[in-house]
Structure 1
Amino acid sequence: MHNDRALTEARLKRVLEERIRPAVYPESVPLAVSVWHAPGEPVPVAEGLAAARTPTEVGAEWGPPWGTSWFTVAGRVPREWAGRTVEALLDLGFDENMPGFQCEGLVYRPDGSPVKGLNPRNQWVRIGGPGGTVAGGEEVLLHIEASANPVILDYVPFRPTELGDRETADRAPRYRLARMDLAVLDRTVWELVQDLEVLGELMAELSLDSPRRWEILRAVERALDAVDLQDVGGTAARAREELAPALAAPAHASAHRISAVGHAHIDSAWLWPLRETVRKVARTTANMTALLEDEPEFVYAMSQAQQFAWIKEHRPEVYARVKKAVAEGRFVPVGGMWVESDTNMPGSEALARQFVHGKRFFLEEFGIETEEVWLPDTFGYSAALPQLVRLAGAKWFLTQKISWSRTNKFPHHTFWWEGLDGTRVFTHFPPIDTYNSRLSGEEVAHAVRNFQEKGGATRSLAPTGWGDGGGGTTREMLARAKRLADLEGSARVIFEKPSAFFEKAHAEYAQAPVWVGELYLELHRATLTSQARTKQGNRRAEHLLREAELWAATAAVRAGFAYPYERLDRIWKTVLLHQFHDILPGTSIAWVHREAAATYAAVAAELEEIVGGALAALAGDGAGGGTLLFNAAPHGRGGAPAHAACPVADRAAEPVTAGPREGGGFVLDNGPLRAEVDGRGLVVSVYDREAERETVAPGAAANLLQLHQDFPNMWDAWDVDLFYRNTVTDLTDVASLELTDEGAVRVVRAFGSSRVEQLISLPAGARRLDVTTVVDWHETEKFLKAAFPLDLHADRTAAETQFGHLYRPTHTNTSWDAAKFEACAHRFVHLEEPGWGVAVVNDSTYGYDVTRTVRDAASGAAGTTTTVRLSLLRAPRFPDPHTDQGVHRFRYALVPNASVGDAVREGYRINLPERRVAGSAAVAPLVRVDDDAVVVSAVKLADDGGGDVVVRLYESLGGRARAVLTPGFAPGAVSVCDLLERPLGTVAAEDGRVSLALRPFEIVTLRIARA
């Protein structure tokens, strides 16, 4: 029997590939082809359609990297084909094994209306009326906007390439036209192909001792016997009859249920620039709206409001079809975010605004309140997300990427995810382990075997379709689903909306298990460091937006300043776009990051202009001759007012002393702290006078730059593998060491092909050591870290995340702990023993690691050394071979004797500048909060233009807080709102003050009318 099985499977494979599949199109005639090669960037559709063509032919080369060619195909349907189904087969030179990641096309009619996309697994265009039936003799004239995106992704190995930027790519043609024909589609043969594929794949997944497997095998044998290999079309119906009983056998009552959702995961930028994503989305949505018209059972879901907005702006003819399909309820907007953003690195307000702008777009465009958050491909998920999901009016969460973890298998597929503050969101992680499912027998069987909630739940979801330019769901996938709807030996498969799946899953499994904290991806950890300029641009833009909103709102209320609603809306959407999960993580091609740098510079300039205009309005004409100091920090120390401006003269500072150190180096002293920098330019002591203890571990040195070899096993820009720690070079050689006139220590080092200059200082009266590091970086496949070994025994770190902080262990007791050898922190990392802690704060880094060693008691310095290291720079070569080359500036600080509250304050301080503006009258804060545990994350005017003041705040220490918010203006009604500023309830304001009681890490949004 085993030999029978093997022979039949081999026979099926050969007959299917060499005889039956080629017979799907039994007759064809060539089309005449002409072309116009656009000389530069893509042109508008009307210009491409009107351009003069020159004749070309199948086999002709076309397509320099990133070029666009407009092809026209023309012909006539043979009259003898009357009554038959006819399609144009248009192969631009595709590799069918790489759907997406290569050339693509969008077909237009002569009037400019879109038809559908062309992709490696979707090369056909229907000719004729419904069903493709022709009368014979029809003229055929189609235009193809063809994009010559170069193949950049080469898995074994990842090869560095200059193709990732139009400025560095060569101009050699990349493709050859492969087929341009009119052909007859034999629908019966096509259906036979689907029958055989589904049964053959199901058979392969069933066990050898399964009777069902042998039933299918015998049915396949009979069908192959029925096929006349010299007349496949004439005998296909007979072969299908032999398969019909096997296809009619119903699934078992206990069969797993799969909700297939048509989908095409399209990265908003990755191995292509942003401008190309606009066209990828247009091609895919044209495909999907055409398929919706043909297939009444089909449902398609698309995420990312930005992608809808792109086609609305750039391809209105496609967008009109999308809006119609959305109105019919079968093209389903999902996700509720502006883009599928990274969730580790965006700041608090930025992550909140992803939901604000995404959900608002869907509400305004379609009247749809999206209820599921759709993030299949993001590289880990912040513990702040559950609360934000619920505050945005959503209630479900979907991810797929956790299946990529390399150390530990995540234990659930359907579960409640509990965030920082205790908020829970019902979550699904599809066991099919792909967000590009084609519903193959292997994938469906894997989903059943893999599903962790057997016995408690019965269903899972399968995002189905080719992504990233692959064209989305295909008619072949729909044919599979029809056959798998009720088929013995398989899970039941049905296409339906994500909301339908979640409603059913929630109803049957409300008592699902709970996962608390972040969803940490045990892979792609280097995304916290790659492309430092992009990350710095993001951080700077986030804080400038905070200032722009705050000062513009304050000036609007105080001085009648015109609040820049439209400008801020546009800038926010630009910043949110660049938080997409391949842009901010640094894993896109060089073109993307080159453009991002220019965009961030423009954003910063415009925001500085807004800030400057608002401050000038607040300061007045400056006739008093004084200078105002504006501070946008979230709160002062000890209840001091936030968001205020005061005369500079009111600020006094104690002097800092600096002098030589015995044995070499320098000593800095500002009163609270005494720091020693040795002859190597390393910080060997930071003594805290108040606590009477040393910060730096005995025998160690802080602010130590360390260089590692960094060549991960696979994903260059994405990964750092733990073995990188096996080799390290401490950068201790000094090119120069001097004391500046300002009392700072300047250290210059040279290493490899690079140079670093650091300024080490103790600000007057402050309890912190500041370090400014400028690196001229020209290394390859290296990893640069800044180490701070602390004399501190701590079993966990507090790392800032959105609207709070997350605790992670410093030990490696379990494989789960050990896997977090590189993790994310925003503005601070904090460690403490009871009564004394240390914070390391930064202005632009995200990756960090913490390790512990125990010092030998025999040395006379027993204790624990806990080392915090900030990740500064990497130098991967794929997909951008010149990643991070050039000059970078980092600022970070060591803060001894720091509580978590101190870490919060210092983290904001290092990121928010103090601004001096000519003027003399103090400017009171627009809002004041009397509890330092409560941080104000945003002050702005309401997005609807009504003039109300919106304040978002959160409890930052992880405890309960009672606070009083006092507006700096006469308040009217005060409402508690969701993130979209929609009222959830009212709050009483007594004597113009609002009393608040906050849970740990609770986020509260207040909308305050002006009386």
Structure 2
Amino acid sequence: MPYYQKNTLDRIEKMFWRLQTSYYRQIADLEVTAYVTKEPVPYAERFSGEEKKLEIGAVWGELFDCAWFHFTGKLPEGYDPADCSLIIDISGEGLCVDENGNPLIGITNGSAIFEAGSTRKRSVPLKYLNVKDGYVDMWMDAGCNGLFGDYASGALREANISMRLEELRSLYYDYFVLKETMEQLSEKTARYHCIQRALNKVCNIMDEYTEEEAVQARAVLKSEMEKSGGDASLTITGIGHAHIDLAWLWPIRETIRKGARTFATVDKLMDIYPEYRFGFSQPQLLFWMKLYYPDLYTRLQKRVKEGRIECQGAMWVECDTNITGEEALVRQIMQGARFWKDEFDFDIDNIWLPDVFGYSAALPQIMEKSGLKYFMTQKLSWSEHNQFPHHTFNWVGIDGTSVLVHMLPEETYNSLAGPAALHRAEEKFLDKGVSDEALMLFGVGDGGGGPGAIHLEKLARLHDVNGLPRCRQGFAKDLFARIDHDRDEYATWNGELYLEFHRGTYTTHARNKKFNRKMEQLLRELEYAASLAYVYAGKDYPTQLLDETWKEVLLYQFHDIIPGSSIKRVYDESLARYEILVEKIQDAIQEYYAAVYDGEYAINSLNFARTEYVQKDDTWYKAELPAMGAAKLLALTAADQDVTAKDGVLENEKLIVKFGENGEIVSIFDKEAQKETLEEAANKFKLYDDTDGDAWDIRIYYMEKNPKTMQLISSKFYVDGPNAAAEQTFEFGKSVLTQKVILQKNSDYVTFDTTVDWKETEKMLRTDFATCIHTDEVTCNIQYGSLKRPTHRNTSWEMTKFEVCAHKWIDLSRDDYGVALLNDCKYGYAVLENRMDINLLRSTMSPGVDADKAVHTFRYAYYPHRGNEKHALVEQKAIAFNILPVLTNGHNAAALPESFLQTDCTNVEITAVKKAEDSDRLVVRMYQTDGTESICCVTLPARVKKVSFCDLMEREAEEVPVENGAVVLKFKPFEIHTILVEM
């Protein structure tokens, strides 16, 4: 080796890039015609678009245009089709099809990942085509967008027939693997110098880049390629993956096509690489394949049966777990796990969420009660300030349930699967002293595409390479089972897995979030109404309607839709669909209630009695509602309207609310406790600068700059039936906010009924309440319970939780007194010391422009109370605030009990009543709400025959004794119980 050794590194690098472009030799051009449309059309209609004859460099479309491309050409004499490929680059994505229009293989114009080598897919081997007498004829369904929704140019870049030089190709991958291996080693090692010497020799051999030179060069590298003895202390299991965002920087319709391109490529590469193992997640994506690409879907089913493809993750989509509601999380798993079993005979045992923005502390119990053991992610590696301390660990949820978590130590689900990837995984694996295995997901994800030959060729050379961890391809399911044996050795993390990033997603695109909660509640209501009609009126249960609607709602809970982090088109389309779904489900609710009630009723689907004032045709009525029952509407008495509203003051029996001259609340006085609950003026509408934010992120320093406030322009005070109301209008810029502050008869909370015509850009609208409560913790409602979070900033871990997610309520309490904020559709909060701040709206410009510039309606409430949140039944108040009585005018009188179901305890909430998926029994799901042990008697319909426990997937467990038409259930803190009721 010469003494100028270091000077060869630049030479070695240049050779690498030369080799990458050396192993295809163009031998003929292709003729190209595109038939361009704005939206996709099927193969049978491929001629329907605008016809364009294309030369290289010609622009064929605009962003998200579609086209059927027709490629024709002639293979020169003397060339074997088996040695040749079409080389195609259309500045977009494409699905090549056979003569029947069935998927062959996908092409892509590239990837954002260029750390080493190119991951674009541009080669279509002629052996896949029906080449007759040397004539090439191929169709391709194309999209004028990059993998990440970007617009590259819309131009045709390459379209030719090329000969593939196999020895040069193999040399490239040998060289690639050795060069990258060397780069992971210390320059002080002998291995480093041996590899460098061999690579330098290749540079001396390669001149004309012929196959003969390649054979000589590979012989030089052979001894280094064969040096084995990888690090036995860590084994990496690699599995191909294509984390496909179901919407993000592209519309949902393009996702369907991305799926076909990706999975067609997977299928073809499996013919070439026998060791190739791939995993797909998200049943929604496979459902689309079944619907739109049945031939491809059948091939995928075959690959699963062969043991080549693994089904990953029980959820219907990789949903956001901050905002998705409790029952929806159960349905995500139920729909997903059933799909994998029914369609692929695959038993799922894991949750698979590599790219979700934080993880609810309710998930461990939901998983365990769904028969799931393992959880996989990597997103916590994105945290801004504090490094999450583990990659393999036990995660304990709010109820004490523990599941095993493995986070990808390479901290990406888009691994390039080379020596650098293995080295990074080993270097970063925080639990490598405890666990000797880790998972690697390789391929191009987010925008789809999956692995290419570049990944598989490298892995074929990396089984047991000296200087690197050992690597093998295999299923994640098997790795989870292996590392489970050492579970007692792993550390434990209690509570939520909070991502110190993407906090803006609790608020961005507020209308989608409101529709999501509304649909979750409407589906709950329909299932209850349909169960009544099924049991008492013999009416058919709306199985198909519920199944189809639930699946669509679950789709919109995908982690780039419900968080607000997709482009504008995604929300234009989802909002339109939500409106249709709401109307359809509301109509169905009325239909099923009408089947059991005769006349006008108010119906209460909650499992506690309540008195409500309801408005019908501009007239107020009173309804004394039993638990899960109904009542006739009662005319108001004078006593029902005994409230006060005068300039600046609202008053009822319990509270006095006073307003300042700018419309703010200056006092909320608890008459029963003789206590002022505010320390300073509250409910000011503050606009914070959000120019440094985007759909995902709120910057921690936003509060350092003084906010602007909306200005009061009008106000009036009046009594409307049982309501003392202040109606106020505020302005800022071109935005107008109108709010009715309502204090209802007998109510112990103040309601803020709000409408905003929001027209701001890069502003964040918030309001806050500085309460009389100083405490170290705020209690935050999440799915199936609540958790405590700090109200101070003592440490960096607490500082980063400057914005947190909660569902229906948050509460600041001492043992003697507290204050809660309730809401009907908001999720983002900031709580510091005694101040509760609610994030109402944002107006970001990236990735979607003009987010939430629209009219919004929402409600929140201020609830001061004696005792803490448990004693004050804050959860009951919040669920009643969200789920209002349903007014119906029925036409059938069924023999209904006063209450369909009753519970004798205030801290157990029934969250679902539905028909079982696979029988005529009813499913009743409930949970303990306040984190204490409880014994609850549940009174059932009189004709019950048998009651059994079941898990969340409705698999029957032990029978529950029924005595006098009731069952007695013991609950651990926050425990979920599901029972099957046979009538």
Taking structure 1 as the reference length, what is the TM-score of the superposition?
0.91
How big is the shift at 1:510? 4.0
Judged with a 3 Å threshold, the aligned counterparts in structure 2 of structure 1 residues 923 and 645 are, in CA distance, closer, same or farther, namely: farther
Deviation at 1:755, TM superposition (A): 1.0
Matched, 1:178 2:177: no
Aligned 8 A contact 2:415 2:440 in 1 = yes
Equivalent of 1:950 in 910, 923, 929: 923
Counterpart residue number, 1:169: none
**Alpha-carbon separation, structure 1, partners of 2:50 and 2:838:** 57
1:754 aligns with 2:752: no
Query: Which one-letter code corresponds to 1:126 in the other structure?
Result: P
Q: Which residue type is aligned with residue 644 of structure 2?
A: A
My pick for the range that moved more, 410-419 or 311-320, is 311-320
Deviations 1:7-60 (A, max 9, x none): 222111212223x2332013421122222122x311112222787966432222
Corresponding residue number in structure 2 for 1:59: 57
Aligned partner of residue 481 in structure 1, secondary structure: helix
Matched, 1:940 2:911: no
The counterpart of 1:904, out of the listed 841, 850, 875, is 875
Q: Indicate how the Cα distance of structure 1 residues 236 and 766 shifts in structure 2: closer, same or farther if over 3 A, else same.
A: same
Rate the CA distance shift 1:231–1:777 in 2: closer, same or farther, 3 A: closer
Question: Which of 390, 409, 415 is residue 431 of structure 1 equivalent to?
Answer: 409
1:579 paired with 2:557, answer yes
1:48 maps to what in 2? Answer: 46
The answer to whether 1:452 aligns with 2:430 is: yes
What SS is found at the alignment partner of 2:744? coil
Q: Does 1:657 align with 2:643?
A: yes
Q: Hey, what does 2:955 align to over in structure 1?
A: 982
Q: Which amino acid aligns with 2:967?
A: V
CA distance in 2, matches of 1:881, 1:656: 48
DSSP 3-state at the match of 1:740: strand
Equivalent residue, structure 2, for 1:22: 21
Q: CA deviation at 1:469?
A: 3.6
Report the alpha carbon displacement of residue 4 of structure 1 after superposing the two structures with TM.
Answer: 4.2
- State the alpha-carbon separation in 1 of the partners of residues 503 and 209 from structure 2: 57
CA distance in 2, matches of 1:76, 1:985: 70
**C-alpha separation in 2, matches of 1:231 and 1:708:** 61
Per-residue Cα deviation, 1:675-705 (whole angstroms, up to 9, x for no partner): 21222211111111222211111xx112222
C-alpha distance in 1 between matches for 2:553 and 2:70: 39
Query: Which residue of the other structure, out of 143, 150, 157, is the alignment partner of 1:147?
Result: 143
- Alpha-carbon deviations, 1:180-211, whole Å to 9, x = none? 11111111111111111111111112122122
Structure 2 counterpart of 1:277: 255
- Match of 1:62, as an amino acid? W
- 1:8 corresponds in structure 2 to 8
Map residues 444-593 of structure 1 onto 2, 5 A cutoff.
444-593=422-571
Mark the CA change 1:692 to 1:702 in structure 2 (over 3 Å): closer, same or farther: same
Q: 1:363 aligns with which of 324, 341, 352?
A: 341
**For residues 769 and 577 of structure 2, what CA distance do their matches in structure 1 show?**
34
Pair 419,375 (structure 1): closer, same or farther in 2 beyond 3 Å: same
Moved more, 347-356 or 553-562: 553-562
Superposed displacement of residue 650, structure 1 = 9.2
Q: Work out the CA distance in 1 between the residues paired with 2:73 and 2:488.
A: 59
| Structure 2 SS opposite 1:26 | strand
Q: 1:381 to 1:135 in 2, by over 3 A?
A: closer
**Equivalent position amino acid for 1:57 in 2:** E
Q: Which moved more, 1:3-12 or 1:743-752?
A: 3-12
Counterparts of 1:46-445 in structure 2, within 5 Å, are 46-48=44-46, 55-82=53-80, 85-93=83-91, 103-119=92-108, 120=110, 121-128=120-127, 137-149=133-145, 174-227=153-206, 229-445=207-423
Question: Structure 2: which 5+ residue stretches go unaligned?
Answer: 111-119, 612-623
**Residue 654 of structure 1: CA displacement?**
4.3
- Checking the alignment, whether the CA contact within 8 Å between 1:79 and 1:135 is kept in structure 2 is no
Counterpart residue type for residue 66 of structure 2: T
Whole-Å Cα distance in 2 between the matches of residues 45 and 568 of structure 1? 32
Note the C-alpha offset of 1:845.
0.4
Separation (CA, whole Å) in 1 of partners of 2:744 and 2:610: 17
> Where do 1:623-702 residues align within 5 Å?
627-636=600-609, 641-649=626-634, 654-660=640-646, 665-697=647-679, 700-702=680-682
Gaps of 5+ in 1: 94-102, 155-162, 164-172, 853-865
- Three-state SS of the structure 2 residue aligned to 1:533 is helix
Distance 1:49 1:315 in 2: 20
Cα distance in 2 for partners of 1:640, 1:61 equals: 66
Provide the rounded CA distance (Å) in 1 between the counterparts of 2:776 and 2:52.
72
Q: Deviations over 1:341-380 (max 9, x none)?
A: 0000011101111001111111111121111211000111
How far did 1:707 drift? 1.2
Tell me how far 1:503 sits from its aligned partner. Answer: 1.6
Residues 733 and 21 of structure 1: CA distance in aligned 2, closer, same or farther (over 3 Å): closer
More deviation, 897-906/423-432? 897-906
Within a 5 Å distance, the mapping from 1:600-615 to structure 2 comes to: 600-615=578-593
Cα 1:182–1:733 shift into 2, 3 Å: closer
For each residue in 1:265-308, what CA deviation from the matched residue of structure 2 results, as whole angstroms up to 9, or x when unmatched? 10000111111111000110111111112211011101101000
Match 2:855 to one of 887, 903, 913:
887
Deviation of 1:509 (Å): 4.5
Query: Judging changes above 3 Å, is the alpha-carbon distance between structure 1 residues 79 and 996 closer, same or farther for their aligned structure 2 residues?
Result: same
Residue equivalent to 2:812? 831
Query: Structure 1 residue 965 and structure 2 residue 954: aligned?
Result: no
- Residue 28 of structure 1: SS of its match in structure 2? strand
How far the C-alpha of 1:110 sits from its partner, in A, is 1.7
2:689 counterpart residue number: 709
SS at match of 2:124: strand
Bigger mean CA offset, 173-182 vs 481-490:
173-182
Q: Is the 8 A contact 2:413 2:440 kept in 1?
A: yes
Equivalent in the alignment of 1:166: none
Q: Deviations over 1:785-841 (max 9, x none)?
A: 111110111111111110001111101111111111101010000110112111100
Residues of 1 paired with 2:708 and 2:16: CA distance?
62
Identify which range, 603-612 or 741-750, moves more after superposition.
Answer: 741-750
- The answer (yes or no) to whether the contact 1:646–1:922 under 8 Å persists in 2 is no
Q: What residue identity is the alignment partner of 1:11?
A: R
1:97 corresponds to: none
What residue in structure 2 maps to residue 739 of structure 1? 717
Match status 1:798 vs 2:769: no
- Amino acid in the other structure paired with 1:900: E
Distance 2:43 2:869 in 1: 56
Deviations 1:969-988 (A, max 9, x none): 31122121122211122212
Picking from 585, 597, 600, the partner of 2:575 is 597
- Does residue 867 (structure 1) correspond to residue 835 (structure 2)? The answer is yes
**2:187 & 2:83 partners in 1: Cα distance?**
41
CA, structure 1 residues 731+999, in 2 after alignment: closer, same or farther (shift >3 Å)? same
Please state how far the C-alpha of 1:481 moved relative to its aligned partner: 1.1
Q: Tell me the distance in 1 between the aligned counterparts of 2:2 and 2:797.
A: 43
Alignment RMSD: 2.2
Assess if the C-alpha contact under 8 Å between 2:95 and 2:261 holds in 1. Answer: yes
Shift of 1:428: 0.4
Instruction: Give distance in 2, aligned partners of 1:16 and 1:348.
Output: 52
Answer yes or no: is the 8 Å Cα contact 1:641–1:928 preserved in 2.
Answer: no
Task: Report the CA distance shift for 1:3/1:1006 in structure 2 as closer, same or farther (over 3 A).
Answer: farther
Shift of 1:466: 0.5
Q: Is the 8 A contact 1:81 1:135 kept in 2?
A: no
Q: Secondary structure at the match of 2:290?
A: helix
Question: Using the alignment, how far apart are the partners of 1:197 and 1:149 within structure 2?
Answer: 30
Q: Alignment partner of 1:891: what SS?
A: strand
**1:987-1002 to 2 correspondences below 5 Å:** 987-1002=960-975
Measured in 2, the distance between the counterparts of 1:210 and 1:928 equals 74
